[in-house]
Copies of this chain bind each other. A is one copy, B any other.
Amino acid sequence: MKKIDLLIEAIKEKKSHVVVGLDPKLEEMPKEFMAKAKEKKLSLSEVIYSFNKEVIDAVYDLVPAVKPQVAYYEMYGLEGLLAYKKTIEYAKSKKLIVIGDIKRSDIGSTSLAYSRAHIGSVYYNEKKVNDFAVDAVTINPFLGSDTLKEFEEDMTNEGAMIFVLVKTSNKSSGELQDLESGGKKIYEHVSKLVSDMAKSHVGINGYSGVGAVTGATYKEELINIRNLMPRSYFLIPGYGAQGGVASDVVGGFNKDGLGAVINSSRGIIYAYKKYGKGIKESSRMAVIEMNRNINKALLEADKIAWK
């Protein structure tokens, strides 16, 4: 089965459109947690992995997917990337869809190497190498459609998904993405590339494995983008710490109550700062609250995916 269908199945089963962003930063982690890690003489990879494991254990039954942001693992070098690998494996063992937030892309043959690295595999001495293999990745479209197409072979073989950056959640995203050319904004041109490619990867639920990243911080654009890419699932970042709220993201959903997953990272994994409890309890509370708020907003907009 395609990963897009597994995602939709998990959304309906768990009644949740929430993705938990796993963005480990040592200085954001609870002091007691770090002190205990030092006492136990944990390696850097063990610290990061054990933090993520606490979060995953607390939320895996409540959400369909997690999204490790690879930048926060690369920052910690080889140890960080070992934690990335172990985090992916653990999340998969808990039946979570794993979205690798990699925002890669390059010219043809190099884009293919990124595809092999993150959704496919290679072989050395007849042994499969796929340390970083996830179910879905994010892709930067600046180099054009040929760089996106290099992911299609692995998408087909693995049933994997890609989410193409269309309109990002940061302040300066408009500098290029909002420029107008031929009566259409650049992000609308990107939407066209995505919707063209999406046609070939539609699953049994009518949604495509070719999705889009569209920030929660630009509410009006979101509604526009929804119409431009009817078959694409949206990955919506920017909720919580970046300022997006439940009513902002409703426009990303279709009438069937599907079409988008909403990511929150800091708002969940560092929720101990808000709730004053441990990592597990706080992150679980944050997810329950986020699920409730999003589902309430969708109910009010008459966009319900389950009875």
A interface residues with partner B (beta carbon < 8 Å): 23, 25-26, 38, 44, 47, 69, 71-72, 74-82, 85, 101, 103-108, 110-111, 113-114, 116-118, 122, 124-125, 129-132, 140-147, 165, 168-177, 179-182, 186, 189-190, 193, 237, 242
Alpha-carbon separation in the docked complex, A148 to B108 (Å): 24
**Complex: chain B residue closest to A69, CB-CB:** B110
| A113 with B78: CB separation less than 8 A | no
Alpha-carbon separation in the docked complex, A249 to B141 (Å): 26
Given A77-B131, A77-B132, A78-B85, also A106-B142 (CB < 8 A): no
| B177 with A186: CB separation less than 8 A | no
Enumerate chain B residues within 8 angstroms of A79, measured Cβ to Cβ.
124, 129
Alpha-carbon separation in the docked complex, A186 to B144 (Å): 13
29 A-B pairs with CB atoms under 8 Å apart are: A44-B129, A69-B113, A74-B113, A75-B114, A75-B122, A76-B122, A77-B129, A78-B81, A78-B131, A103-B106, A103-B140, A105-B140, A107-B168, A107-B237, A140-B142, A141-B176, A142-B165, A142-B168, A142-B177, A143-B168, A143-B170, A144-B171, A144-B175, A146-B170, A146-B171, A147-B170, A147-B172, A175-B193, A179-B182
